Every structure is written in C-alpha cells, then in structure tokens.
A and B are shown apart, each in its own frame.
Chain A
Amino acid sequence: KAGVTQTPRYLIKTRGQQVTLSCSPISGHRSVSWYQQTPGQGLQFLFEYFSETQRNKGNFPGRFSGRQFSNSRSEMNVSTLELGDSALYLCASSLWAGGNQPQHFGDGTRLSIL
C-alpha cells in the first residue's frame, strides 16, 4: 500500500509569491491534516479536512488556506509569502477524523523563502 505522498519535496520561492502544495493520502483514508514544522515553533497544526470539509483550523493567518477534493487528495495554498513561512510542511492522513486515529505522515515539502 502506498504511503502519503507530498509534492513537491522542495520549493524555493521569493517574498510576495504564492505557493500550492499537494498531498495524496493513503488509499481509503478520508481525513487529511496539515502541519508546519520549524526549528523555533516545532510542529504546529494548520488545518484538517474530512470529506471535502474543513473540520478544524489552527492559529494561522488567512494567507494559509487549503481544500480537499472528492478523491481525498488535498492542497494547501500560501499567498503573499513571508520569510517566516520557510518551513517543512507535513501532511498526514487517517481513516477517519476521530481523535484516537493514528496519523500517517508524508515526508513533507521543504519550503524556502528568499
């Protein structure tokens, strides 16, 4: 069974640009969550999608948005990029959205802002 696939693995952008990251969950998984990982702030929850609906959102500005498609694939968009957006962005999937469901992580997209 294929794992969670995130594309691209690496991205370099400049301030003010926008970026779209993609996540394909494990087949049959319907819940997708996104996290930002930085050395200073650690792992922070961005948002969670289940059945194409955003179920919960972390404490990030509106420049961060996402969506989920009918096949459970998800995209995350960041507009007007800032230097502080440089981070590893991790996507995780699980069968359901319940709190006792273990999450399966992709290897992340490393975003660097110049």
Chain B
Amino acid sequence: AQSVTQLDSHVSVSEGTPVLLRCNYSSSYSPSLFWYVQHPNKGLQLLLKYTSAATLVKGINGFEAEFKKSETSFHLTKPSAHMSDAAEYFCVVSDPNGSARQLTFGSGTQLTVLP
C-alpha cells in the first residue's frame, strides 16, 4: 500500500522569496515520486521525478526536490518565487515495479505568490 501527504493545503510567499512545499509519503517498497503542477483550467505538468538515482532531483523552471528516505519526505523547493509559479502542486507516489501502475496523488498545495 502507498500513500502521500502534502502537509500544507495553502502556501503564500512573496515574489523573489524561497518556496517550500512539503510532501511525506508512505510505501512498502522503494517508490517513484513525482511533483506535478496544475494551472487553472489546465492539466497537470510534470515538474520532476525521482526514480532511485540521485536523491537531489532538478526539475523545470528552477524547481528541485530532495528524496530523504529516513524522513520519508520529498519536499519541493525553489530559491526565488515568480508570479507565474502561482498554481496548485501535487506530490505523487507510484510503485515502479507494479505490473499495472496506479499513481497515488496528494491532496495538493495551492501556492500563492504575492507581488
């Protein structure tokens, strides 16, 4: 069984300040982990993925995430927020060896960027 918890439903930051979106997961195997972003009236766009290679994963648009097995966390960070980063972010866990893949999505974190 697998589960994912996004610890904050809403995060508000000022433009130019760091972003931290927190995600904890639970899994009985070594999972694949993803972060997706969803802008209003759009589908989900992949930001980055972790699949048991480097624990620090770099994604698009300056985002990165660090896989910490001891803390079962996969937090998403960005050094400097931009207005265009305002969106909803989803942390996702998956069984990489599953014969039939079924993703488990977190409940989402709404990021607001203040001018």
* A and B from one complex: yes
Residues A83-114 near B (CB distance < 8 A)? 90, 92, 97-108, 110
Residues A29-59 near B (CB distance < 8 A)? 31, 33, 42-43, 45, 48, 55-56, 58
- CA gap between A105 and B44 in the complex, in Å: 6
**Main SS of chain B's interface residues?**
loop
- CA gap between A26 and B32 in the complex, in Å: 22
Q: Which of chain A's residues have a CB closer than 8 A to the CB of B13? A: none
Partner of B100, one of A4, A42, A48, A103: A48
- From residue B3, how far is it (CB to closest CB) to chain A in Å? 13
Also in contact, A103 and B46, with CB within 8 A (given A42-B107, A42-B108, A45-B102): yes
Residues B11-46 near A (CB distance < 8 A)? 32, 34, 36, 41-46
Partner of A102, one of B34, B98, B106: B34
* Chain B, interface residues (CB within 8 Å), range: 20 to 34
Partner of B96, one of A99, A105, A106, A108: A99
Q: List 28 A-B contacts (CB under 8 A).
A: A6-B43, A31-B101, A33-B101, A33-B103, A42-B105, A42-B108, A43-B108, A45-B102, A45-B103, A48-B100, A48-B101, A56-B100, A90-B44, A97-B101, A98-B96, A99-B32, A99-B94, A99-B95, A99-B98, A99-B101, A100-B94, A101-B101, A102-B49, A103-B103, A105-B45, A107-B41, A107-B42, A108-B43
